[in-house]
Amino acid sequence: MAKADKSPEGTSSPAPKDGEKLQKVLARSGLGSRREMERWIEQDRVTIDGKPASLGDRVVAGQRIEVDGRPLAAGDGEKTRCLLYHKPTGEVCSRKDPEGRRTVFERLPKVKSGRWISIGRLDYNTSGLLLFTTDGELANALMHPSANIEREYMVRVMGDVTEENISAMLEGVMLEDGVARFTDIQSGGGDGINAWYYVVLMEGRNREVRRLWESQGLTVSRLKRVRYGDLFVPSKVKKGQYQELASNEINGLYRMAGMPAKDVEPPSREDRNKHKRMEGKRGRVRGNKHAKDDFGSRDARKEKSGKGRKPGSKSTSAPKNKRRTRD
């Protein structure tokens, strides 16, 4: 951006009363979520016209914004990329891990500007669908509780599950951070230590699925997210692999967020070639000793035998006419 006009004394022009909030502009450029950008501002990593920025600052076109001494280009954030990642167990959702564990960001393709931002998180022992975008505003809107986006999980539960347990989790349970509930619970077959369920949440609090089952004296031994809104894990996307979302899928995310859609930035030729090589590989994830500790072989056998989820069982609503893709 061009520098703002300076006064004779060399000070920057008065802060504009109009314009956009600084953290919103930074998030839209793909540097991170709005909350993360607020932390950067508090840490004095951002300047406006050479002066340290403050929370609450607004900016207009023509002002010079710098992050860690690097200018924010005017075109940053005008286009977007989104992808779906099939997270295996044994990976953390932070960019760096003090314990040296693998992170979900290590396998993602490079971006020309900004960086990948995860839309929500999955804990270390949870696998499944995880979305990424270069648009921090989109990530912020989709993660906000008011978005009311369905998240569906496949769960293996240890213990005797009763109708009372199911009813309690559907009606709502008081956890340490407030009331939580599933909006749908469907039986996936099995019994005893091998009972499977599909559950749906409308929010993404930390370990919420596990804590809801634990409130009933039951233990979750396997957990995988199979759906986010209208998006499922494609069967061809194996654990540790990703797939760029098509324009119509990205537009669907913007609709869920209540935001106008952006133009899609196509992946580079290098990324396309890398993705083709990845698609040619089998589902085995290299360098991750936890990768096979997942659902794959069991679910494949259930699909072939015709067993599995029993539509309409233990549910307060009719099952959705959507196909759940398993490993």
Range(s) for CATH 3.30.2350.10 in the chain?
Answer: 79-145+231-279, 150-228+290-305
Name the active-site residue from 18, 57, 123, 230.
123
115 or 43, greater pLDDT: 43
DSSP of 121-152, one letter per residue?
---TT-EEEEEEES-HHHHHHHHSGGG---EE
Q: Which CATH superfamily is domain 150-228+290-305 in?
A: Pseudouridine synthase (3.30.2350.10)
For domain 1-76, the CATH class is alpha beta
Q: What is the distance between the alpha carbons of residues 131 and 139, in angstroms, rounded to a whole number?
A: 9
Mean pLDDT value of segment 179-188: 95
Confidence of residue 125 (pLDDT cuts 50, 70, 90): very high
Is the pLDDT at 101 greater than 90? The verdict is: yes
Q: What is the distance between the alpha carbons of residues 65 and 3, in angstroms, rounded to a whole number?
A: 9
205: left (phi over 0), alpha (psi -120 to 50) or beta: beta
Range(s) for CATH 3.10.290.10 in the chain?
Answer: 1-76
Is the pLDDT at 301 greater than 80? The verdict is: no
Q: What is the CATH number of domain 79-145+231-279?
A: 3.30.2350.10
> Using one digit for the tens of pLDDT, what is the confidence trace for 240-255?
999 999 999 999 999 9
Q: What is the distance between the alpha carbons of residues 151 and 205, in angstroms, rounded to a whole number?
A: 11
User: Active-site residue 68, yes or no?
Assistant: no
> Using one digit for the tens of pLDDT, what is the confidence trace for 45-89?
999 999 999 998 999 878 899 999 888 865 566 788 999 999 999
